[in-house]
Amino acid sequence: MSIPVTVIDYGIGNLLNMVRALEHCGAAVQVVARATPEAAQASRLVLPGVGAFGDGMAELRARGLDDTVRNFAATGRPFLGICVGLQMMFEDSEEMGTHAGLGLLQGRVLAVPVTRADGQPHRVPHIGWRPLQAARAWDDTILSEVQAGERAYFVHSFTAEPRDPAVRLADVDYDGRRLCAAVQRGNLTGCQFHPERSAGAGLGMLRRFLAL
């Protein structure tokens, strides 16, 4: 039997790939672009995202979906934020000014450092396949069937800095800079990488999300 999942469409998400990946994993996907009773009553909610933090928050507010996400998060049902969707889970971002986020998790979104740990310049945005490093145990999370060192696909110029280190689920090393790759607290999970673009490991994560 297909597992119902609601995906938020706020105009800047990587929607098609996300929907296809979830359907491939056995989900019956409903896409919502406005605050509706159906969105509030979702069994599982996914907030994908590409682009700028401020634009994403503006679109969520314009569609009434910011409160939908906050109210859903309080229900205890499974929630997944991806890329900018993860970043918007936090209190604010410094991308192109200071912009308030959803405030589901404490912490800020900061620019990826423009230098390596040795001070030499490196490329930003951070793009490519990188091995995931455990920040804490992955039991009973979407990473529970992933081995440390498996690679995921990243493309981002900003990175979340949770205030509580226990929120960090996985990290990624970028030339000696340890960046937050995934977060989890209770029913809330976020991935800075794109599971829908991370081959078999990524699809395995989505299957685990459907099983939560």
Catalytic residues: 83, 194, 196
Distance CA 24, CA 22 (A): 5
Helices 199-211 and 15-24 pack at an angle, to 10 degrees, of 70
Distance CA 190, CA 182 (A): 5
Contact present, 130 and 170 (Cβ < 8 Å): no
Q: Which residues pair with 8 in a beta bridge?
A: 32
Q: Which residues pair with 111 in a beta bridge?
A: 158
Amino acid at 211: A
Tokens 């740990």 sit on residue? 117
User: For the chain, what percentages of helix, strand and coil (3-state, to nearest 5) are there?
Assistant: 25, 35, 40
Contact present, 82 and 194 (Cβ < 8 Å): yes
